[in-house]
Amino acid sequence: MKFEDIIYFFDNIVLIYVAIMFFVFFIFVISSALSFDKHIKFRGFINNFNLDYNADYIPVSLLVPAYNEEVTICKTIESLLATDYKQYEIIIINDGSTDSTFEVIEQKYKLKHIYKPMKRSIETKDILSVYKGEVNNVFITVINKVNGGKADALNVGINYAKYPIFITIDADSILEKGAVRNIIVPFMKNKKTIAVGGNIRIANAFTIENGVVTKIDTPKGLIIPFQMIEYFRAFLTNRMTWNILNMNLIISGAFGAFRKRDVINVGGYKNNTVGEDMELVMRLHKKFIENKEEYYISYAPDANCYTQAPKTLKGLKVQRRRWQIGLIHSMSLHKNLFLNRRWLLAKLYFILFEMITPIIEVVGMIIILLSFIFKIINLKFVLCYYGFIIIYSLAISISAILLQVYAFKEDINKKVIARLMIISIFEGIGYRQFLTLYRASAFIGYKKNKYKWGTIKREKQN
């Protein structure tokens, strides 16, 4: 076979792959739109229903792991204190911070040192001290511990939590006033619900006052708007579709709720992965499937959490490389989960369109490069390849943006919507290629780097 024939063969493979991916995501958009219709009707019922006096009301523990978060931690606590939920506690787990994370909390909320023995349901690193304060009848506990990573910090929080449901919140995240209420509703609705994921948004694009969004804008530049569109797609289409099938594999560590006893029964968060949130969810699925127990892992699109997104390509690389390593590691740790016939669809999707996508796309880039070098450029392939990517990005992104406006009835300025739609045209030219290379780099030195978290610079929230 001639070299030219080999190039043309791979041309066709890549084009077929991209076409199938385009079709799959189109199905996701349709299914999520239909699902939102049902959700909007249910939302109307909930808004007219007083959860605070419901017999199934569940008090919750809010867990915030923090490592060197002096810049953002107080804003996060303020948003938690502004929630309209009736009964909850806030637990900050200071994971051996080397900055003044603890000092800024202690000073602002006038914490006092206490002695509180901990039931070690899950083994963790040593506790150094515990401080406690109270604001408007809400207890704030800060646990200072030896550094052990995010998973270990969350396990400490689980051990200290006194309520049956715990919610994990990143230290750079801001919650909407009704977010806790909305993420707890699925637990009240169905006693067999064991975990619920919230809806994550880009904080850089919103101004939030006392838990209420007062302004939505598109920041200058392209990196943040590109990520806004990505998040719309991921949470409003992908998560909604997997929610219908009860096959959600990802509950973002930025905002997720879990039934405490079930997490303790599977051993809590594992320290041997950077994708501790996905790994835990997969372990929960596996445990209930093996025990043949009925269960639900749900997604609450109205439970809005705002988290900081990387503003630089360097920060974006750290984040996406870590996400990809976490995906690969979780998939390899729990490959037996996908032996279940019911999970065949999820297996094919996560392998073909999440795990190996960057490899396929890199192959496409290499084919184009080789075609130029050896002057056997297949113009039809180049036009089709980039045409598919641009059309795919544009169609799916615009659908997700319109779904956002339709589903949440938000007062988004028409100029903001127009700018996002225009920006989505260019997502497939440059930005997507950068993401592909960042994700593909996760396969290089994977075994060496699978436990490395990486850092992203924090900034004060609006």
Domain ranges for the chain: 1-52+172-461
pLDDT score at 194: 98
382 or 256, which is more confident? 256
Under a CB-based contact definition with an 8 Å cutoff, are residues 340 and 332 in contact? no
Higher pLDDT, residue 28 or 255: 255
- pLDDT for the residue numbered 462: 54
Residues 292-327: pLDDT tens digits?
999 999 999 889 999 989 999 999 999 999 999 989
Band of residue 437 on the pLDDT scale cut at 50, 70, 90: very high
Distance CA 37, CA 30 (A): 11
Mean of pLDDT values over 396-418: 74
Q: What is the pLDDT of residue 273?
A: 85
Give the residue, 458 or 134, on which the prediction is more confident. 134
Per DSSP (E only), the strands in 203-267 are 206-209, 212-216, 255-259
pLDDT surpasses 80 at 355: yes
Q: What is the pLDDT of residues 62-86, one digit of tens each?
A: 999 999 999 989 989 999 999 989 8
Q: How far apart are CA 311 and CA 295, in angstroms?
A: 39
Which residues contact residue 75 at a Cβ distance below 8 angstroms, ignoring those fewer than 6 apart?
174, 460, 461
**Separation of first and last alpha carbons in the chain:** 60
Least confident of 213-227, 240-254, 376-390: 376-390
Q: CB-based contacts of 83: which residues, under 8 Å, 6+ apart?
A: 175, 177, 178, 179, 180, 181, 211
Tokens of residue 18, six digits: 């991209």
Predicted pLDDT of residue 149? 93
- Among 61-75, 136-150, 217-231, 316-330, whose mean pLDDT is lowest? 217-231
Residue range 36-72, pLDDT digits in tens = 767 766 666 565 555 655 666 899 999 999 999 999 8
Q: Output the pLDDT for position 48.
A: 54
Closest C-alpha among 107, 17, 85 to residue 348: 17
Between 197 and 8, name the one with better pLDDT.
Answer: 197
**216 and 205 Cβ atoms separated by less than 8 Å:** yes
pTM for the full predicted model: 0.89
Position 387 scores a pLDDT of: 76
A 10 A CB-CB count for 382 gives 16
* β 88-95/255-259 pair status: unpaired
Confidence at 408, pLDDT banded by 50, 70, 90: low
| Residues 258, 251: Cα–Cα separation, whole Å | 10
On average, the pLDDT of the chain sits at 85
Angle between helices 223-233 and 414-425 (to 10 degrees): 90
Task: Please tell me the predicted confidence (pLDDT) of residue 449.
Answer: 59
The pLDDT of residue 317: 93
Look up residue 138 and give its two tokens. 């809400």
CA–CA separation, 115 vs 80, rounded Å?
Answer: 24
